[in-house]
Structure 1
Amino acid sequence: MGPSEHSLSEVSFLTVAEVAALMRVSKMTVYRLVHSGELPAIRVGRSFRVPEESVYAYLRDAYVQTA
């Protein structure tokens, strides 16, 4: 079930700083992912909020297994 299939009361949103800490990347990297559309987000005022499940889906899809 994707983030769009949950009711809003069930969706947990993260700030860009929280996503950056979770992914261990810079905030600028998260902004690039959001602006490119690779990481879905909503705009709240002047800031972005990213559904927590979208972060895990992105990481799961981006995972590359090495030999």
Structure 2
Amino acid sequence: METASIPTEDPTSPRVLLTVEDAAKALSIGRTTMYALIKAGHIATVQIGQLRRVPTTALAAYVQQLTTQQSAA
């Protein structure tokens, strides 16, 4: 009988979901500012049980939006 293999965490692989605090660090902003951006709907989040997480794709989309808006101005 074959046993199921549990994948080990690869420390070099990028995370797909970040805590709100880690997402704020990634954008070099404060935690309060990050929560304000989330509340205003500028950055999408997902909820897993009681945990709120920020997809790295949402951060990239927000930065792209900022870049586009500022280059158009």
TM-score by length of 1: 0.70
Name the structure 2 match of 1:54.
58
Q: Percent identity?
A: 24
- Name structure 2 gaps, 5 residues minimum: 1-14
- Name structure 1 gaps, 5 residues minimum: 1-10
Match of 2:27 among 15, 23, 26: 23
Amino acid across the alignment from 2:36: R
**Whole-Å separation in 1 of the counterparts to 2:41 and 2:47:** 13
Of the two, which has the highest radius of gyration? Answer: 2
Q: Which runs of 4+ in 1 moved over 6 A?
A: none
Q: State the superposition RMSD in angstroms.
A: 1.9
The total of aligned residue pairs comes to: 55
SS of equivalent to 1:40 = coil
Q: Which one has more relative contact order, counting CA pairs under 8 Å at least 6 apart?
A: 1
TM-score by length of 2: 0.65
